[in-house]
Chains A and B, each alone.
Chain A
Amino acid sequence: MSGATHVRYEILRTFRNHRSLVVTLALPLVLYYSIAGGNRHATSAGISFPLYFMTGMAAYGAMFATVSTGGHLAVDRSRGWTRQLRITPLRARTEMVAKVLAAYLVALPALALLFLAGVTLGVHLDAAQWFEMTGLLLAGLAPFILMGLILGHLVPGDALVPAVGGLVVVFALLGGVFGSFFNGAMLAFTKLLPSYWLAHAGKAALVLGDWPAEGWILVAVWTVVLAFLAALAYRRDTGRV
Chain B
Amino acid sequence: MSAVDVEMVGVKAIDLTKSYGSVQAVSGIDLSIAPGETVALLGPNGAGKSTTIDIILGLSRPDRGSVSVFGVPPASAVRSGWVGGMLQSGFPPDLLKVREFVTLMASYYPHPLRVDDVLRLTGAQEFADRWTKKLSGGQAQRARVAAALVGNPDLVVLDEPTAGIDVEGRHEFWEVMRGVAAQGKTVIFATHYLEEADAFADRIVLIARGRIVADGPATEIKAKAGSRSIRATLPHVDVESLRALPGVVAVERHGDAVVLSCSDADAALASLFATFPEVRDVEARGGTLEEAFLELTGDENGPRAEETGR
Contacts and interface: CB of A to CB of B under 8 A. Distances in A.
Nearest to A79: B91
Interface string A79-96: 111011011111100000
A5 interface: yes
Interface string B46-60: 000000000001111
A87 B79 CA distance: 8
Nearest to A87: B85
B151 A79 contact: no
Interface stretch (A9-17, A120-128, A204-212): A9-17
Interface of B is mostly: loop
B90 A81 contact: yes
Given A1-B109, A87-B85, A89-B80, A241 B94 contact: no
Contact of A1 (B57, B60, B107): B107
B81 interface: yes
Interface stretch (B95-103, B161-169, B208-216, B293-301): B95-103
A90 B94 contact: no
Interface in A75-122: 75-76, 79-81, 83-84, 86-91
Contact of B94 (A4, A6, A75, A87): A75
B93 A240 contact: no
Which of A9, A76, A89 is the most central at the interface, judged by chain B CB atoms within 10 Å of its CB?
Answer: A89
Interface in B49-85: 57-61, 78-81, 83-85
B189 to A, nearest CB: 15
Nearest to B112: A1
A87 B59 CA distance: 7
Contacts of A91: 79
B104 interface: yes
A87 B104 contact: no
Interface size class of B (residues with CB under 8 A): 20 to 34
Contact of A5 (B60, B83, B95, B104): B104
Given A9-B100, A240-B58, A79 B107 contact: no
Interface string A139-150: 000000000000
A17 B151 contact: no
Contacts of A87: 57-59, 78, 83-85, 87
Contacts of B60: 240-241
A83 B90 CA distance: 9
B108 A88 contact: yes
A81 B105 CA distance: 11
A120 B93 CA distance: 40
Nearest to B147: A84
Given A1-B107, A83-B59, A86-B59, A13 B91 contact: no
Contacts of A79: 90-94
Contacts of B110: 1, 89
B61 A13 contact: no
B256 to A, nearest CB: 61
A76 B133 CA distance: 12
A84 B109 contact: no
B89 interface: yes
A12 to B, nearest CB: 8
B138 to A, nearest CB: 17
Interface in B145-159: 147, 151
B95 A16 contact: yes
B81 A89 contact: yes
A-B residue pairs, 3 tightest by C-beta: A80-B90, A5-B107, A81-B93
5 contacts: A79-B91, A84-B85, A84-B87, A84-B93, A89-B80
